[in-house]
Amino acid sequence: MKILVVGSGGREHAIALKLKENPEVEQIFAAPGNGGMAAFCTLANVKATDVDSMVAFAKENAVDFAVVTPDDPLVLGMADAMEAAGIPAFGPGKAAAVIEGSKVFSKNLMKKYGIPTARYETFDDEAAAVAYLKAQNTYPAVIKADGLALGKGVIIAKSEQEAVGAVHSMMSDRIFGASGSHVVIEEYLEGPEVSVLSFTDGKTLVPMVSSKDHKRALDNDEGLNTGGMGTIAPNPYYTPEIAARCMEEIFLPTMAAMNAEGRTFKGCLYFGLMITKDGPKVIEYNCRFGDPETQVVLPLLKSDLLAIFRAVRDGGRSEVPVEFSDESAACVVMASGGYPQKYQTGYEISGLDEMGQAEGVTVYHAGTKLENGKFLTAGGRVLGVTAVGDTLEDALCKSYAAVEKISFQNVHYRKDIGKIR
């Protein structure tokens, strides 16, 4: 089979590597892919958001199965476009991807179907939003732009002044572009965060092993929010008791709600949860695998990923096994100094060969490119160094040992991944 994996991050590297384990897979196209994927995939110079060109590429190259990984092409309807062109695709259609594409949609869905989440109101008028903030007078307040906003559209305001400023910057100054035309203002929740990815075909849903993302740029959860600086799996806060509640109160009701809305979700549904003192609540839904959650979840998957993808797409999810090892995994992201703000790229990465040999370690590439046989940095998050071990400590130890052997100019990584406070 010829497979197309759309996207270019560490998540896509992890998915492609896992798919390659299936002996039926002859060739994997990565569009646009990265330096690490070049070793075992055919890179295609097509932008992940260019739906028409991606479908044309898939047709020209007789792709048998397309995996649409990132949020933006899914929200644009790339999975539907592949299917319409006769190419089976993994990933929700546009109607279901709105669960991530619009926070107003997802909040209203949760309210309508009684799924636990932070209390909120939505606004399309700045004056009304400001009046609401003043009437509530409770801080911190959480202000979210409606649309995708590159995962950065959330401001946690500690005072009225900050909150009013945040609403103004989203709604009038449009710092997050058009996604600021609508905002959600919600209650601030406290508790440990857990990411749970799941496979669902709309009939059944199976959660994957839980994980924990470290979103802030600096140690001790300081600095700006990033796409994710490191992950561990399983998440120590996700006890069997919490898992059972999540299944009953959140996961299955969400699947049923999407069906009831005529928006059946088929693909990987990601639950961003907070374990509050009143129980687990939804912080956000994503319509796709998380990055870097995937880099710790898939190394623990014992089952055939391609078989799962095909079954989810065909509506036969319950017929294929989805089993995880009971080991632990840790991923430390090595980023370009300055990320998530300004940073320089084009630096040579050294130490990669040696690390490719280390037992239980996989280096997933994200912002890298291969030029004249050398790996160069080419993005904010450069590498995700993952290790699997019998215990979390073991996995962390191996991962950090590998990180210390890899280097490039201005490298930045967190030293406290997996430290639970």
CB of 275 to ligand AMP, least distance (A): 12
Residue 291 binding partner per list ligand AMP, ligand GLY, none, with a CB distance cut-off of 5 to 8 Å that depends on partner kind: ligand GLY
Contact between 327 and ligand AMP by CB under 6 A: the answer reads no
What does the alpha-carbon distance between residue 305 and residue 388 come to, in Å, rounded to a whole number? 18
The single residue among 154, 250, 300, 311 that binds ligand AMP, judged by CB under 6 A, is 154
**Who contacts 135 (Cβ-Cβ below 8 Å, separation ≥6)?**
none
State which residue, 33 or 147, has the beta carbon closest to ligand AMP: 147
State which residue, 50 or 193, has the beta carbon closest to ligand AMP: 193
* Token pair 């199976």 in the structure block, residue: 206
Q: Is 317:268 a contact under the CB 8 Å cutoff?
A: no
Residue 188 binding partner per list ligand AMP, ligand GLY, none, with a CB distance cut-off of 5 to 8 Å that depends on partner kind: ligand AMP
Strands 42-43 and 27-32: parallel
Of the listed pieces 66-74, 186-194, 305-313, 346-354, which binds ligand AMP according to CB under 6 A?
A: 186-194
Tally the C-alpha atoms within 13 A of residue 124's C-alpha that lie toward its C-beta. Answer: 3
CB of 211 to ligand GLY, least distance (A): 9
Contact between 216 and ligand AMP by CB under 6 A: the answer reads no
What does the alpha-carbon distance between residue 66 and residue 86 come to, in Å, rounded to a whole number? 11
Q: Is 414 helix (H, G, I), strand (E, B) or coil?
A: coil
The single residue among 73, 228, 267, 384 that binds ligand GLY, judged by CB under 6 A, is 228
The single residue among 283, 311, 322, 352 that binds ligand AMP, judged by CB under 6 A, is 283
CB of 294 to ligand GLY, least distance (A): 8
Of the listed pieces 180-188, 308-316, 374-382, 384-392, which binds ligand AMP according to CB under 6 A?
A: 180-188
Contact between 106 and ligand GLY by CB under 6 A: the answer reads no
* Token pair 């958001």 in the structure block, residue: 49
Contact between 286 and ligand GLY by CB under 6 A: the answer reads yes
Neighbours of 401 (CB within 10 A): 14
Contact between 151 and ligand GLY by CB under 6 A: the answer reads yes
- At residue 379, what is the residue type? G
What does the alpha-carbon distance between residue 259 and residue 261 come to, in Å, rounded to a whole number? 5
DSSP assignment of 184-200 equals EEEE---S-EEEEEEEE
Contact between 35 and ligand GLY by CB under 6 A: the answer reads no
State which residue, 114 or 346, has the beta carbon closest to ligand AMP: 114
CB of 272 to ligand AMP, least distance (A): 5
CB of 323 to ligand AMP, least distance (A): 28
What does the alpha-carbon distance between residue 314 and residue 364 come to, in Å, rounded to a whole number? 29
Structure tokens at 178: 């058009």
Task: Answer left, alpha or beta for residue 150, where phi above 0 means left and psi between -120 and 50 means alpha.
Answer: left
The single residue among 80, 213, 304, 327 that binds ligand GLY, judged by CB under 6 A, is 213
What does the alpha-carbon distance between residue 142 and residue 207 come to, in Å, rounded to a whole number? 28
Beta-bridge partners for 67:
5, 90
Contact between 189 and ligand AMP by CB under 6 A: the answer reads yes
The single residue among 80, 146, 293, 304 that binds ligand GLY, judged by CB under 6 A, is 293
CB of 359 to ligand AMP, least distance (A): 33
State which residue, 151 or 279, has the beta carbon closest to ligand AMP: 151
**Who contacts 159 (Cβ-Cβ below 8 Å, separation ≥6)?**
139
The single residue among 100, 186, 201, 304 that binds ligand AMP, judged by CB under 6 A, is 186
Q: Is 326 helix (H, G, I), strand (E, B) or coil?
A: coil
Reference 412, options 329, 330, 342, 328; nearest CA is 342
Q: Per CB under 6 A, which of residues 126..145 are in contact with ligand AMP?
A: 142
Contacts with ligand AMP by CB under 6 A lie at 118, 142, 151, 154, 156, 186-189, 193, 215, 272, 283-284
Q: Give the residues lining the site for ligand GLY (CB under 6 A).
A: 151, 213, 227-228, 286, 290-291, 293
